Structure formats: structure tokens, C-alpha cells
Structure 1
Amino acid sequence: MPSHNEWKPELYDDKLRFISVYGKDVVDLLRPQEGERILDLGCGTGDLTAQIAASGAHTEGIDKSADMIEQARRKYPTLSFEIADAENSLPNRFTSSFDAVFSNAALHWMKNADDVIRHVYSSLQPGGRFVAEFGGRDNVGTILHGISHVLSSKYGIDAAALSPWYYPTIGEYASRLEQAGFRVDYAVHFDRPTPLPDGDDGLSYWLESFAGDFVQALPAQEQGRFFELVTEECRPFIYVQEQWVADYRRLRFSALKPG
């Protein structure tokens, strides 16, 4: 099922900058080199694309959201950004074009994982690498439990049918990469408790940014109340010393296309 999440670039840049901050470690794993051609898949508002470009690499940033791409172009007018949906296809001009494909905090929004991996493989030159981090199994498990409990108990709705996310195990995703032809040379699934900004409002901003799919089945007058109920459901578990700490669990990997 495609995601209907409504991306809000200004909110993303203002309240959720931690996504790009944590992504710097993934850039370190990528080790971009001067002159390389690198695709940033799910580039958002372009901060990590710009960091990669600062190495001297030639970058292309793509994202499914037109609003996010518009914001990226405003922020980094000298870089190249394009609207594209990696679940369905990549531009023909990308075939065997890149030395590396990079992705941070985006692949878990792409439930057609095999198609995405196949398109990435096709876009890489022989010897190219695919380096990424995204949500792994049990990512934001407490928040998901809160969403599920409120939807089920108050509205009789199954949250699993509405979820836009794909959170695989390390073995599951590595197997998909290998079946597509990649050789996985590094993979780790780790806990990364993540403080959310703005004190008591932190989880509200998170839900407003990322949980839009779960309110699609609710009447408009219930949507704000739904987020309030989820917040109170989660409070005993991930609100610590006046700080929301999301229970992120990340999957990070590097895979090579044989040369």
C-alpha cells in the first residue's frame, strides 16, 4: 500500500534535524571520493546530499515528495535534485551511472523492497556500492504499540493495515540484497535511543511528521485527538526527565555490485 504521508519540509528541517545529524555516520561509511557519481536515494531536503557533494563527488538527489525536492533546491541551488519514486522506477539515464547509491532514513518507507533493490542495482556501475541506514525490526516499537492500541481500542481499526513502514530483520534484508546480486560486506542492526526536540511537544511533532497514514481512516475532527491519545499511551515508557526518547532501532549496511 503506498504511503499517504504528507511531508512538511519546514517542520522537517526545524524539528527533525536529528535525522540528518545521525546520517553523518552513514556518510562516513560511504566514504565519498572526489569525482565519484553518487545518488542520494530519499534525499529529503538535501542536507546529506550537500555533505556528500562537499567531498568533491558529483551528486544527484531524488525523493518521491515534490515538496521536499522543492525545499532541497531552495537550500542548495547548485546541486541536482529530482522527483523520483524508486519503488516504481528510476530514470533511464541512471542505468549503470553511479559509483555509489546512498540512502538515510528512507528505505523503510519503501515497502516494495525487492523492486527498490533491483533499481538500485541497475543504477550502479560494476563495482559500485550501496550504503544505507533505515529502520530495522522493532524500530519505534513503543510508538507503534501506542498507535496500534489506540486505533484498536477506540476506533476498532487494525493499524497494521495502515502502516506505511517496512522494518526488516538484518537477515531478511541481507537476503534480499544477495538475491538481487549484491555482495553484503557490512551489516549491523543496533539500538539508537533518539531524543526528540522541544520537550513535551517532541512526540507530537514526530507523529505529525510521520504518522499521517494512520489517521486516514478517522474523521477529521478525531485526528488531533488521536495524536493526543497516542502521546499519553507512550508517555510512561519513553518520556524520561521531561524528554521524549524514541526507541529507534536501525539497520545499517554496505553492499557491493560485483565488478
Structure 2
Amino acid sequence: MIKNNWKATLYEGKHSFVWQNAGDLLELLAPRSGENILDIGSGTGQLTEKISQSGATVMGIDSSENMVEKAKQNYPNLQFNVVDARNFQFDTTFDAVFSNSTLHWIPEADAVIDRIAKSLKVGGRFVTEFGGKGDVQAITTALSQALKDIGITQDHPWYFPSIGEYANKLEKHGLDVNYAVLVPRPTPLADGEAGLRNWIEMFCDRFFTGITTEEKTQVISKVEEMLRPTLYQEGTWIADYWRIRIVAVKN
């Protein structure tokens, strides 16, 4: 699993699009009263709480202690736990497993899918959306180049699969894919001129291991310079997101 220094306050304050753009995904999940649902990568809890409004019993898990602590503060009546998605097991099984904007952080996709499949009831559904093939390609290419310019070689750390690649993994673990799309989602970033800088501070911590604060500032400024002609529009930075969305059922 990719380690990132998660900043819950920055996440909630400047990156609320992560959960605000998930309305269609919740419609695909279609939670029902009485169901038992697991939310993988629950972050600060906003989508977990929305699922609970259906009357379902929902548990949120996240690998970040910081995020889980904030989720518990936000929604003290819900259950949140610090759990590694590659290695979890509960005494109960679930009618559905849900995950939004999380699984691209875990390159060990087979380990996660194995846990999901084993946690689902027969006929249970897995509903997810995360970064797919081509996701933030312009940003990561510019970031890698800016780092290379100061003598650091660093490729992006995320897992961005194609539909075919990910569907094949699901089917190998007994999950039949009923729905799959890969769609562009250009995403405006909050805070005007500071938008891209905030995004990099939030999601790209791993790129800057071992470099000085001065070097980091230099790299981010270079990235902004490289991307301004294409991703800065009328005072707003636009992240070049591509999202893969999947619904699969345990056979």
C-alpha cells in the first residue's frame, strides 16, 4: 500500500470533490435498509454517513489513523476502524462492499480483491470507483519531469488499471462484472491559484521523500509553469482525472 501523509483538514477543506462527485456511485450501490455494508477507504466519513441514511448498517475502514480519527469526530454514531485493505477479516459477511477514490492507492490489487470477495455474501455486490488508465497523466508527467530536472527519478506510485485488466482480476476471484466504464472527469480544484499546489500537497507526499523544503517549492513551481497553458482555465486549476467505475457480484 502506498504511504501518504494524510492531512484530514486539508482534505475536507480543499478536496471535498472526492465525495461530492460520488452521487452517481451511491446510486449504483443503491443501499437498502437492513443491509450490512463495508466502506473501504472511508476517509473523513461523508460517504459512509450517506450510506447509513438508507437504513443500512455500515462500517468504514481506512488505513490512515488521522482520517479515521476525523471521521469519528464527524459521525460519532457510526463505526470507523483503522484497517489495511490488503489484509482484513471480520466475523460477519457483507451484502455490499463500497469504495470510492481509494483503490488506486493500493498496487496490490489482487490482495484487496481477495479480501473483498471473501467478505461478501454470495450474491453480494462490489461497487467501486477509482483512478483508471490515464488518470492525472498530465500532472504526474510534469511532476516526474520537474523532479528529474533536480536529479531525482520518481515515477508515479499509483495503480491505474484499464477496464480489461481490472475486470480480469475480479473474475479470477469469483466476482462477475455487471457494469464497467472508464470516463474522463476534468475536476476543478478549489482555491484558485493555489489549487494545484494544494492538490500536490494533499496527494503527492511520496514524491518528495528525502528532498528539502526549498527543492519541493522549486518543483511545485516548475509543475505549475509546465501545466498552466493546458490545466489553468479562467483562474481555476483543472485536474485531468480519468475514473474507472465497476459493479461486480459474487457468484
Displacement of 1:116 after TM fit? 0.3
Supply the AA of the counterpart residue of 1:84. Answer: V
In structure 2, the residue matched to 1:164 is 157
Question: What is the aligned partner in structure 2 of residue 118 from structure 1?
Answer: 114
Rounded Cα–Cα distance in structure 1 between residues aligned with 2:91 and 2:6: 27
Per the alignment, residue 93 of structure 1 pairs with 91
Residue in structure 2 matched with residue 49 of structure 1 by the alignment: 48
Residue aligning to 1:207: 200
Distance 1:220 1:117 in 2: 38
SS at structure 2 position matched to 1:93: coil
Relative to the length of structure 1, the TM-score reads 0.94
Q: Does 1:151 align with 2:147?
A: yes
Tell me which residue corresponds to 2:249: 256
| 2:13 aligned residue | 14
Aligned to 1:139: 135
Amino acid paired to 2:103: L
> Displacement of 1:120 after TM fit?
0.4
One-letter code aligned to 1:90: F
Contact 1:26/1:133 (8 A) holds in 2: yes
| More displaced stretch, 17-26 vs 102-111 | 17-26
C-alpha distance in 2, partners of 1:166/1:98? Answer: 25
How many residue pairs get aligned? The number is 251
Contact 1:7 1:209 in 2 (8 A): yes
Q: Which residue identity lines up with residue 124 of structure 2 in the other structure? A: G
Q: What displacement does 1:24 show? A: 1.8
Tell me the percent identity: 45
Q: Unpaired segments of 5 or more residues in structure 1?
A: none
CA deviations over 1:74-127 (Å, ceiling 9, x no partner): 00000000000112x113425xx1000000000000110000000000111111
Q: Retained in 2: the 8 A contact 1:141–1:247?
A: yes
Taking the TM superposition and a 5 Å limit, the aligned residue runs for 1:198-237 are: 198-237=191-230
Please show how residues 184-195 of structure 1 align to structure 2 within 5 Å. 184-195=177-188
Conserved? CA contact 2:89–2:115, under 8 Å: no
